[in-house]
Structure 1
């Protein structure tokens, strides 16, 4: 009799095999097992929040857990997969900004608190429209919170340039709750 495994087990095994191959390729052969061409053109357009001065160093003094918050616009009526992709773009953009020494949002202390504190917490919330999203963005910037708005490239469901997701953090939970505490879960 054969053994049946679930899709989740198959995905887990595939990821484990891939990670093992990357690990072996890096440490046994001096480089990755596979190479691929990185396409310079991103799925998403650049955000208009580039160049804003964000000094989040004062947030390092605030104790407690840290998290990221992903705020999804509801008026765009994105499918779940599209929204998930947009949230992934936001998470990566926030991470790049806070971990890059050349970024205005660079804060290795906050990044370490988030990475090693409570499982890299992320919460997804909903906002009714772009106007409300822009208000949250302005509040975050004024409080020194790392923030990034994702704008869609317009190749699938959404018009080009549409602001889809606002990413905030990582930052102390207490600070992010001041900005997004009234929003409902997505």
Structure 2
């Protein structure tokens, strides 16, 4: 691994999943949406140095809540502007929410400090 990997390990890496709290999803539905986000981020970022560092660190994950689709979109845009990977999850609409509803997004895996600058004000789910 190159110097990007070593730098990422030194600073720490994590994956954050930001979940909409306004949808009144049940616990099982939330768990499924968070799993969708984590799997999507892992699959789509697996060739990056940040992913390698995150994997070796034990795949640290944090789940946070946000109050609306507009706020979720805004946090995703801020994360992208900071150079972080963002993967939004839209539901298929088979159970508790309508098809196409954005339920959550994964930010990372990436540098912990960079992610915290974007998501640090959000509360834990």
The two structures have a TM-score, normalised by structure 2, of 0.91
The answer on 1:110 being equivalent to 2:50 is yes
Displacement after TM superposition at 1:142 (Å) = 1.0
| Corresponding position of 2:103 | 164
The answer on 1:135 being equivalent to 2:84 is no
RMSD between aligned residues: 1.3
| Corresponding position of 2:21 | 74
**Counterpart-to-counterpart distance in 1, 2:50 and 2:98:** 35
Greater relative CO, 1 or 2 (CA 8 Å, sep 6+): 2
| Corresponding position of 1:145 | 84
| Corresponding position of 1:184 | 123
| Corresponding position of 1:32 | none
Q: May I ask how many residue pairs the two structures share in their alignment?
A: 120
The answer on 1:89 being equivalent to 2:36 is yes
Displacement after TM superposition at 1:64 (Å) = 1.1
Show structure 2 runs of 5+ residues with no match. Answer: none
**Counterpart-to-counterpart distance in 2, 1:95 and 1:76:** 25
Larger radius of gyration: 1
Displacement after TM superposition at 1:71 (Å) = 0.5
Runs of 4+ aligned structure 1 residues displaced above 6 Å come to none
Summarize the alignment of residues 12-23 of structure 1 with structure 2, pairs less than 5 Å apart: none
Displacement after TM superposition at 1:160 (Å) = 0.8
**Counterpart-to-counterpart distance in 2, 1:110 and 1:176:** 12
